[in-house]
Every structure is written in C-alpha cells, then in structure tokens.
Amino acid sequence: MELFRQTARIALQSWTRRWPHASRLFLFGENQSWVINWEMRELSRLAQRLGIKRPPSSLYFHSQEQAVFYGSQFALLEDDWLTRGHAVATAYFHGKPGLGIKEFDALYERLKMHHDKIARLQVSHSEMRDVILASGIDASKVHMIPIAVNVDFFPLRSEADYRAARQRLAIPDAAFVVGSFQKDGVGWGDGLEPKLIKGPDVFLQTMKRLKSVVPEVHVLLSGPARGYVMKGLRELHIPFTHRLLKNYPDIKELYHACDLYLVTSREEGGPKAVLESMACGVPLVTTRVGQAMDLVRHGENAWMVDSEEVDGLVHWAQWVHSHKGELNPVREAGRATAEANTYAAQLPLWQKFFDGFVTVESK
C-alpha cells in the first residue's frame, strides 16, 4: 500500500510540474461550512468566467509555483503558505489591531512581517483598506472588493412572500419581526460566551429598549452559537424564533419574514446581511461598521448610527415600525444597491485582481 502511495505521489508531482508557472488557482475556505466557503464558491465561478483553471484542492500538495487564494486572512497565522512556493493572495475582511483581541494583533504583526510575500490582498471596505496600507504593504497589491450578493438567492420579496414566510415560521401576524442572522458566540457550540465584536450585548440592549415602545417585537434568529442572545431574550421576555439552516440560500425565507434587519456589530468585514437584506427589500438599521460604512446612504437605502449607539438603533427601528407606509423608496434604493454589488457586477474588479497573479493559458 505504501509503495502504491509513493508511486501515485510521484506521478501527480510529475504531472503538476508540467503546468506553466502560475497557471492554476487554488481556493481555500474554512473548515467549517460557513460564509467564507460560500464566498469561495462564488469566486470559483468568477474565475471560470475569466478562463482561470481551477484544479482540485488535493493537488495543492503536489504542485509548485501556482497561485493560491485564502478566503480567510487567519490562514496567515499558519506557516504552510510561507513554505510551499506558491504565489499567495488572501482576503482580509476584518481584524483591526488594538482592540484587545490577541488573535487580531498577532495577525496584523504577521502581515507586517511578511507583506512582501503576499501578491494580492482583498479588503471589503475603506476602513480596513487604510489599516492594511498602514502595515507597509505595496498599495498596488491591495484591492477593495466588497463582499457581494447573489441576487438569485435573494429575490425582492412580495407581500405574498412576506405573509407566507411568517405563516411557515408560525409568527403572529401582528408581530414586528427583527432579524439577526449571524454567529455571535465564541466557538461552535452553544455560544453562551459572547463574541463582543459582533455586538450581541448591544443587540440585547436595543431589544430591551425597543420592547418598551414596540411591545409586539419578535426576534428572528439564525446562525450557530447564538446561546448568549437567546438566553438574554428569554430573560427579557421577548419572544424569538431560531432556525439553524443547512443550506445557506434558504436564509432568504427568513429575510422574507422580517420587518427590519438589525446589525449591532463593533467590527465586521461585511456583514453579508447588509446587501442580503437590501436585496430582499427588508429595511436595514446598522452600526457604522465594515462595508456598511461605504454602502449605506443614511435615510436613502438604510439607516446607520455609530457603534454602540443604542439610542440611535432604537430610534430608527421605531421609525421603521411607525412609518410602514413610507418605506418603499428605501426598499427600492436598497435593492438598487444590492444589484450594483452582485458577483457578476464585480467581474471587472476580479479581473484586475487576478491580472499578473494568475496566467490564463491561451487555447
């Protein structure tokens, strides 16, 4: 058996070494089936449209001098990418240093130490772009490409969609439904320890205040590790529904049931929910975080307040509740923002990103 493995390994290495330099692109997501892996699926489709060859990931270990894209910047904390001899690119969506999070500080130090070995770097918003440029990396390597949305997965909802979704979820007709679809607990278990950069404590403070002025509030949750938020909602006697979905696109059903989507994070790369909620026509109230700060035009396509500004979050959530008949212009503007930020619309940005990083072989 060992002889067979050695023979197969030699054969694979002999084959892959015939590939021209940087003519193949390897994409790596995360071990968990979470949003980064879906990003890699979309990026794989874009690479195919650009004529870039995508070999099976298993051939990475048998190849040399090809191109590798890491969907998570935390891959930089490992040593493998430094020793394989491939050209390296990565997304760097979030992880500002100086927040008291050791992993973020270590990641940024790693970037500063080895930025000369990184060929391309994707950031999703202007704040992170400025943080990355301060590391000393060559500005020509840094490309600002937002985390996009697949509008085929997130169609603009109709009134019938709204009613049907709420009926399937057994949510009362009179409920004012606030959506929160993320992972905001530490680890992949119950999530009773809060991941504070995601703002679950701010979310609970906002819900407590909102309940006092909108008694019929009902929270719709999705995502793993939501134990901290669910425990807090029980203590506040706020009804909630939690659905943990196996298939990411199914989350559109949850958006269709919402009256409002709320983002209370302190640090984000996206969140993806900004464009997802806009695509579905769900009013969005968010903190000034991640790519929301570049995409949201306050009062036009959504509402945005400063981080931890509970007063503002409550005010605009209540405004949405009390102005239901005046929301169509915001919904329409949000949908237009989403359509301008689809993966297909980003094709020219990715073509520029890959130019000189991956070689497209002539047919």
Domain check: are 206 and 96 in the same one?
A: no
pLDDT of residue 264: 98
* CA 292 – CA 38 distance, rounded (Å): 20
Domain check: are 330 and 350 in the same one?
A: no
- List, in sequence order, every residue forming a beta bridge with 362; answer none if it has no partner: none
Look at residues 258, 304, 293, 299 and name the one whose alpha carbon lies nearest to residue 279.
258
Domain check: are 194 and 54 in the same one?
A: no
pLDDT of residue 235: 98
Domain assignment present for 363 = no
* CA 136 – CA 115 distance, rounded (Å): 8
Domain assignment present for 82 = yes
Helix (H, G, I), strand (E, B) or coil at 87: strand
Domain check: are 200 and 311 in the same one?
A: yes
* CA 67 – CA 87 distance, rounded (Å): 5
Domain check: are 14 and 122 in the same one?
A: yes
Helix (H, G, I), strand (E, B) or coil at 28: strand
Helix (H, G, I), strand (E, B) or coil at 192: coil
* CA 299 – CA 107 distance, rounded (Å): 36
pLDDT of residue 6: 65
On whether the CB atoms of residues 255 and 221 are closer than 8 A, the answer is no
Q: What are phi and psi of 121, to 5 degrees?
A: -145, 125
Residues in the chain with pLDDT values less than 70: 1-14, 31-34, 362-363
Domain assignment present for 127 = yes
Domain check: are 256 and 210 in the same one?
A: yes
Domain assignment present for 164 = yes
Domain check: are 135 and 32 in the same one?
A: yes
Domain check: are 76 and 94 in the same one?
A: yes
Domain check: are 118 and 170 in the same one?
A: no
Domain assignment present for 200 = yes
* CA 222 – CA 68 distance, rounded (Å): 32
Q: Is the peptide bond before 271 cis (omega within 30 degrees of 0)?
A: yes
Look at the chain and report how many structural domains it folds into. Answer: 2
Strands (E), 288-346: 303-305
Domain assignment present for 166 = yes
pTM of the model: 0.93
- In CATH, what number is assigned to the domain containing residue 67? 3.40.50.2000
Domain check: are 335 and 210 in the same one?
A: yes
Helix or strand (DSSP H, E) at 149: none
3-state DSSP helix/strand/coil % of the chain, to nearest 5: 45, 15, 40
Q: Which long-range contacts (CB under 8 A, 24 or more apart) does 311-314 make?
A: 313/202, 313/206, 313/262, 313/264, 313/285, 313/287, 314/206, 314/209, 314/210, 314/213
Domain check: are 137 and 166 in the same one?
A: no
pLDDT of residue 361: 74
Domain assignment present for 311 = yes
Domain around 317:
159-339
pLDDT of residue 1: 61
C-alpha separations of 314 from 71, 210, 231 in Å: 34, 6, 21
Domain check: are 134 and 168 in the same one?
A: no
Domain assignment present for 183 = yes
On whether the CB atoms of residues 240 and 219 are closer than 8 A, the answer is yes
